[in-house]
Amino acid sequence: MDPEEIKRLLIKYYEGESTGKEEQSLKKFFSQTDIPEEFSDDKEIFRYYLQSSVIPEPSSDFEKNILSELDSLDQKSENLKRRRIFGILTGIAAVMLILAGTYFFFNQKSEPSDTYSDPEIAYAETMKILYEVSSRLNHGTQALKQISQLQDETQKSLATINRSTTIIKERMKPIDNLFEVMGKISNNKKIND
């Protein structure tokens, strides 16, 4: 086939105006091995069309397989719905059990019973327990006495430092007065000059 004829057929093919016979002649031309270099891009396109045009026919039971898969999907979704409903009902039953248990737990009123029949023994036991608690609290506060002693010593040290600072300030006043007078004298000299 002559290159000019191929160019004309390609133009018609790309514009969508080619006939089936012309397309067959293009496919035949591009299926050859010795194609001119100017048609290399078109060669790749037509080779792709030739390779992808081989689409296998579906099997005879294709529709049957699709319908059976759709049926199994429907059944799976129905089973999923049942599981969801079962899960919701189980959750509601668990909440009801918890609420009933809580109600009975808090609603039972048990009266406190005396552990001692003799009030004097009860009083003696109470005093014994309170004494033990008191002694343990006192034992725990003994460590705090050391902290208060440390705080007292710190306060005494700060008072001593404050007294020293006050004495130094008092003794510095004459020097501050001297500097003040000297500053006034030097200002007067500057004004007079």
Residue 131 within a domain: no
Query: For the chain, what is the domain count?
Result: 1
Residue 90 within a domain: no
Residue 170 within a domain: no
How far is 40 from 3, CA to CA, in rounded Å? Answer: 13
Range of the domain at 30: 3-52
Share of the chain above pLDDT 70, in %: 93
Residue 134 within a domain: no
Contact predicate 1/25, CB 8 Å:
yes
Residue 105 within a domain: no
Answer yes or no: pTM beyond 0.85: no
Residue 33 within a domain: yes
Tens digits of per-residue pLDDT, 33-66?
788 888 878 888 877 777 766 666 777 888 888 8
Residue 29 within a domain: yes
Residue 39 within a domain: yes
Tens digits of per-residue pLDDT, 63-86?
888 888 888 888 888 989 999 999
How far is 86 from 80, CA to CA, in rounded Å? Answer: 10
CA distances to 111, 115, 122, 124, 132 from 119, rounded to whole Å, are: 18, 10, 5, 9, 20
Torsion sign over Cα 172, 176, 178, 179: positive
